[in-house]
Amino acid sequence: MAFKVLNPGLLTTVQDLGRPGYFHLGIPMSGAMDRYALRAANLLVGNPEGAAALEAVFMGPQLEFEVDATVAVTGADLPARVDGEPHPAWTAFSVRAGQVLSFDYLKGGARAYIAISGGIDTPPALGSRSTYIIGALGGYHGRALAAGDMVPLGKPGALRHGTEVPDALRRTVGKSAELRVLPGLYWRLITEEAGRNFFEDSWKVAPEADRMGYRFRGGRPFTFEPREQPFGAGSNPSNIVDACYPYGSIQVPGGTEPIVLHRDAVSGGGYFTLGAVISADMDLIGQMQPHTGVRFVKVDMDQALAARAEEAGRLARLREALA
Amino acid sequence: MQTRYSYGGDEHIFVEMDEEMSLEAFFKSMSITNAVRAAHIDGITEICPANGSFQIKFDPDRIAPDVLMSRLQSLEQAANKAEKRLETRIVEVPVFYRDPWTTETLMRFRERHQDPQSTDLEYAARMNGYDTVEQFIHAHHASPWFVSMVGFVAGLPFLYQLVERSRQIQVPKYLRPRTDTPKHTIGHGGCFGCVYSVRGAGGYQMFGITPMPIYDPTQKVSYLREFMVFFRPGDIVKWKPIDREEYDAITADVAANRYEPRIRKVTFDLDSFNADIDGTNQRLMETLHGV
């Protein structure tokens, strides 16, 4: 049971909910950039919500199926076709053995999740099938899919089609978005003015935006509180003694362009971090295209936890809707 | 030393022992992370020690952030009394200094460098007051180094030089990080040395390359069969300069699965190290070479 990759798209990888537990060795959790969309796709096709699926960035792959399967596409607005026939997003549909799944041009968002009944059955590495490309770990031989790959599928449950995610539970990102940030970490190294500017300025997603991190441009450069650099840090005021980087943390090398670390984050390094994007907004980042306008919004811990609870509620409603 | 606690979003707590790097900060961080691990606190999902700090990842649905924060602060008291001693290992790592691959890469990224007219080694030698690159290279491999953190990318060790602070090599990081670094590059930034475990981005100055793999996700390399990552915090490293011929020979041995790095068990005691640095290093070398 498998499908054949006729065309891999731009960057299509196998992802599940990731491999926590190895960040202390520099191995990030990886997993879907938009975990909500991954869960929705899996639930639609009758998989466990953490099963491995495909994450396609900007451009969809072209896949030929060896077996009958149920398929669902969620996340980015990347219209699917089976042998040329269009199929709605966020809805389960069937693909017969010998048919070809392909995609039209991207209409919104950045990452589509393609779940297939049975789930992708590549061998797990350190407990997960997620692809960590830099470490050549997990997924399909530790790399993105390529033309000619035969990707194995697990045993599917009963085939189903027509199940859909209610409109209110679908999420897309438009031309602009807000990201909520809890200030902290090395916040004290920047001046009060730089801290104010960061939240006032309009930022845009830069072209360097990938699974490791998203870079932002357009705001004013940061100024630093005067101080003598501590031993071992390096001479630039944005340098620190190399430390851990939380997921979602915002570093600003050289004090110019903030970088938000994501699922394939480097686990540490020598640049200061001013705080972190809250967990509730991390999925949103994965759907941002370059040039998306972004405002960073300051929140406190209580607001972060409230947003987290709100997200958990959404997920509970999704599970209920697709049960 | 002033310990500083901070939240990293709603899923992390970050604890810095000291702004400055020192072995005292490392040992204190290690003691607390050991105590946190032993406490088996429900809701903690990752414990990541760094050079002089550490990070805890937790699930705020299982433990409230402020409750975890107080637990960590109470563990700090106990950690202050912990012994600063490690049962560890010393490893000899061959280094081909001024190799063709890092040289090609550094030439490609000259415009991101503080001194585009020099190589990274020439620049580092000058910044550290050495008259020649040879003298600098000698200072780089003459004394052992201490793995004070594993991370950045898969299995990359950060190394802290075991000499008096006045003799420690310090160099700035590249002005803008490179987008490419050869696999197995020996780098240096701030006071830290490193071995780039995989090919990719990097901001450290490049001094040479090792033929010895330190990360193998396929676990085919003989000494990585047990686990794909070679280094652990607390490991001690001694660089051994090699030439092209030896580099090629080791590369062939690795490919044929007959290369075994030289590794010996050692005890490292911070108080005795501080009391007699040269004597401690002398004993470490004797253990490594079986004298």
**Which chain A positions have a beta carbon within 8 Å of B154's beta carbon?**
25-27, 132, 134-135, 137
Cα separation, A57 vs A69, in Å, equals 23
Cβ within 8 Å, pair B190-A234: yes
**pLDDT of chain A, 323 residues: tens digit per residue:** 899 999 999 999 999 999 999 999 999 999 999 999 999 999 999 999 999 999 999 999 999 999 999 999 999 999 999 999 999 999 999 999 999 999 999 999 999 999 999 999 999 999 999 999 999 999 999 999 999 999 999 998 877 788 999 999 998 877 889 999 999 999 999 999 999 999 999 999 999 999 999 999 999 999 999 999 999 998 889 999 999 999 999 999 889 999 999 999 999 999 999 999 999 999 999 999 999 999 999 999 999 999 999 999 999 999 999 98
The answer to whether A133 touches A62, Cβ cutoff 8 Å, is no
Q: Contacts from B43-48 at CB under 8 Å and sequence distance 24+?
A: B43/B68, B44/B68, B45/A20, B45/A21, B46/A20, B46/A21, B46/A23, B46/A24, B47/A24, B48/A23, B48/A24, B48/A244, B48/A267, B48/A268, B48/B151
Cα separation, A153 vs A4, in Å, equals 11
Residue A318's alpha-carbon distances to A23, A49, A70, A93, B224, in angstroms, are 30, 11, 19, 18, 43
Q: Domain limits of chain A?
A: 2-169, 176-312
Burial of B253 (0-12, 13-18, 19+ CB in 10 A): middle
**Which chain A positions have a beta carbon within 8 Å of B200's beta carbon?**
134
Return the pLDDT at B127: 95
Interface contact A312, partner B, CB < 8 A: yes
**Which chain A positions have a beta carbon within 8 Å of B197's beta carbon?**
26
How many whole angstroms from its chain centre is CA A87? 24
Cβ within 8 Å, pair A23-B61: no
Cβ within 8 Å, pair A266-B152: yes
**Which chain A positions have a beta carbon within 8 Å of B10's beta carbon?**
182, 278-279, 301, 304-305, 308
- For B10, which of A25, A254, A278 is closest by C-beta distance? A278
Q: Would you place residue B251 in the very low, low, confident or very high pLDDT band (cuts 50, 70, 90)?
A: very high
Domains and CATH numbers, chain B: 4-82 (3.30.1360.40), 87-289 (2.40.100.10)
**Which chain A positions have a beta carbon within 8 Å of B34's beta carbon?**
none
The candidate with the shortest Cα–Cα distance to A267, out of B171, B26, B49, B28, is B49
Cβ within 8 Å, pair A234-B172: yes
Interface contact A230, partner B, CB < 8 A: yes
Return the pLDDT at B183: 97
Return the pLDDT at A249: 98
User: Do β-strands B236-241 and B85-97 pair in parallel, antiparallel, or remain unpaired?
Assistant: parallel
User: What single letter denotes the amino acid at residue A181?
Assistant: V
Q: Which residues contact A86 (CB under 8 A, 6 or more apart)?
A: A79, A80, A104
Cα separation, A132 vs B87, in Å, equals 33
Cα separation, A262 vs A275, in Å, equals 14
Nearest CA in chain B to A227: B19
Q: What part of A 16-45 touches B (C-beta under 8 Å)? A: 20-21, 23-27
Identify the CATH number of the domain defined by range A176-312: 2.40.100.10
Cβ within 8 Å, pair B45-A243: no
**Which chain A positions have a beta carbon within 8 Å of B175's beta carbon?**
254
Q: Please, which residues bridge with residue A147 across strands? A: none
Q: Please, which residues bridge with residue B227 across strands? A: none
Q: Which residue has the tokens 């040879």?
A: B134
With a cut of 70, say whether residue B291 has pLDDT above it: no
Cβ within 8 Å, pair B150-A231: no
- Rounded to two decimals, the pTM is 0.95
Dig out the tokens for A199 from the structure: 């939240």
Nearest CA in chain B to A280: B10
List, as one string, the DSSP characters of B30-52: HHHHHHHHHHT-TTEEEEEE-SS
What number is the average pLDDT over the span B34-63? 97
Q: Which residues contact A53 (CB under 8 A, 6 or more apart)?
A: A14, A15, A16, A32, A38, A41, A42, A47, A113, A114, A115, A116, A119, A120
Interface test with B, best of A17, A19, A22, A25 (most B CBs within 10 A): A25
Q: What is the 3-state secondary structure (H, E, C) of A265-310?
A: CCCEEEECEEEEECHHHHHHHCCCCCCCEEEEEECCHHHHHHHHHH
Cβ within 8 Å, pair A242-B50: yes
Cα separation, A201 vs A192, in Å, equals 14
